[in-house]
């Protein structure tokens, strides 16, 4: 039985990853920051861990909670969308919130995951094509874009340390109908996660350090 870890699984895409991997027969370890999220994970048969990626003390306790695990697939899903469009400078508080959760938190969590990955594991960080420089056509949500461009850089750097040990990628889930994506999005969460699971299953060593779409297509940084 394979072991899957989902960081940020209390709702939306993260929760759907838990549901689908459990239905596929995987053992799933998943994190949430509150009692309601933990209860949803337990109801799906996951091993639920309390983790608030915004809190250093909570993150520092992750390694011992995962001690002894050998994880075949690790998915970092946690993130936040906030801030206005170009020309609308964010407040210091909003800037700190977005960059702390979308960039600093992965920089604290991902090195800990590297210690518990099984040989030839897959480490996937959910990013967004909104962080792509090459694909960008407007300046909407510029703080969120900046944070995703930064986390893409983090993923690229982590991939060097995992070369030959695991496959690490940044992945765009599509524009998904979740609380973050909104009802006008063009992709159902069930389909997005099914696509990503198939893409993860097909990752090969040559994909290490790349940025890819939910359907496996390469994306420009």
Q: What percent of the chain has pLDDT over 70?
A: 98
Model confidence band, residue 51 (pLDDT cutoffs 50, 70, 90): very high
Please compute the mean of the pLDDT values over residues 189-205 and round it to a whole number: 97
> Over 80: is that where the pLDDT of 179 sits?
no
Q: Which long-range contacts (CB under 8 A, 24 or more apart) does 62-65 make?
A: 62/109, 62/112, 63/112, 63/115, 63/116
pLDDT tier for residue 184 given thresholds of 50, 70 and 90: confident
Average pLDDT of the residues of the chain? 94
DSSP string of 121-135, one letter each residue: EEEEEE--GGG-STT
pLDDT at 50 over 80: yes
Stretch 169-193: mean pLDDT: 85
Q: Is a pLDDT exceeding 90 seen at residue 120?
A: yes
**How far is 157 from 145, CA to CA, in rounded Å?**
19
Q: How confident is the model at residue 17 (pLDDT cuts 50, 70, 90)?
A: very high
Domains and CATH numbers, the chain: 3-213 (3.40.50.720)
The pLDDT score that the predictor gives to residue 138 is 87
pLDDT, residue 85, reads: 83
Q: In this predicted model, what pLDDT tens digit does every residue of 61-118 receive, in sequence order?
A: 999 999 999 999 999 999 998 877 887 899 999 999 999 999 999 999 999 998 899 9
At 198 the pLDDT is 98
Regarding pTM above 0.85, the answer is yes
Residue 214: count other Cβ atoms within 10 Å of its Cβ. Answer: 23
Residue identified by tokens 């995987």 is 26
pLDDT of 192 over the 90 cut? yes
- What are the φ/ψ torsions at residue 131 (nearest 5 degrees)? -85, -5
Instruction: Identify the pLDDT of residue 88.
Output: 87
Quick: pLDDT tens for 128-167: 999 999 998 888 899 999 999 999 999 999 999 999 999 9
Predicted local confidence at residue 220, as pLDDT? 96
pLDDT at residue 18 tops 90 = yes
């Amino acid at each position: 039985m394979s072991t899957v870890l989902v960081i940020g699984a209390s709702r939306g895409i993260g929760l759907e990853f838990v549901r689908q991997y459990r239905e596929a027969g995987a053992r799933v370890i998943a994190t949430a920051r509150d009692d309601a999220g933990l209860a949803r994970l337990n109801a799906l048969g996951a091993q639920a861990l309390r983790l608030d990626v915004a809190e250093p003390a909570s993150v520092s306790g992750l390694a011992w909670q995962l001690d002894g695990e050998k994880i075949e697939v690790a998915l970092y899903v946690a993130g936040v969308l906030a801030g206005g469009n170009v020309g609308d400078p964010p407040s210091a508080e909003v800037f700190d919130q977005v960059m702390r959760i979308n960039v600093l938190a992965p920089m604290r969590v991902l090195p800990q995951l590297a210690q518990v990955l099984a040989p030839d594991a897959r480490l996937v960080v959910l990013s967004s094509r909104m962080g792509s420089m090459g694909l960008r056509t407007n300046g909407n949500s510029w703080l969120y874009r900046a944070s995703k461009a930064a986390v893409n850089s983090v993923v690229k750097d982590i991939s060097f340390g995992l070369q030959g040990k695991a496959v690490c990628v940044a992945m765009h889930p599509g524009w998904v109908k979740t609380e973050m994506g909104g009802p006008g999005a063009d992709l159902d969460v069930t389909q997005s996660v099914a696509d990503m699971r198939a893409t993860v299953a097909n990752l090969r060593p040559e994909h290490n350090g790349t940025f890819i779409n939910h359907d496996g297509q390469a994306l420009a940084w």
